[in-house]
Amino acid sequence: MTAAHPLVRESAITPGGIALELGLPESLHWFRGHFPGQPILPGVVQLAWAAGFAHSHLHLAAAAREVSALKFRRIIRPGASVRLELDWTPAIGALDFRYSEHGLACSSGRIHLEP
């Protein structure tokens, strides 16, 4: 059986939003076929999870208008434990996200939401 979502191991409210500790089991279906023999977590999935967790944990229901400052620094592999930090700035309608593993930046960006 393959999983579609990461395991949320911990969550903590932060001054700007929330931080989540996520477990990424090897059975996560996003790793299948991306890439055979060298599976990695696709960037589009990282964006979707950031938006989805913002919706479920920060109650942000607006649609994404654009993405900016997107950076992929480290590959996220099956079995990883990653930290996802979400910071919401309502004045500009921006959701900043950062994924890290063992304190090292994996990816980050800003999702601009519809007003």
The pLDDT tens digits for 54-111 are: 999 999 988 899 999 999 999 999 999 999 999 999 999 999 999 999 999 999 999 9
Number of compact structural domains in the chain: 1
- How much helix, strand and coil, in percent to the nearest 5, is found in the chain? 15, 45, 40
pLDDT band at 1 (very low <50, low <70, confident <90, very high): low
pTM: 0.95
CATH code where residue 69 lies: 3.10.129.10
Would you state the pLDDT for residue 4?
A: 84
The reply to whether 81 falls in a domain is yes
Structural domain span for residue 53: 7-113
Residue 2 lies in a domain: no
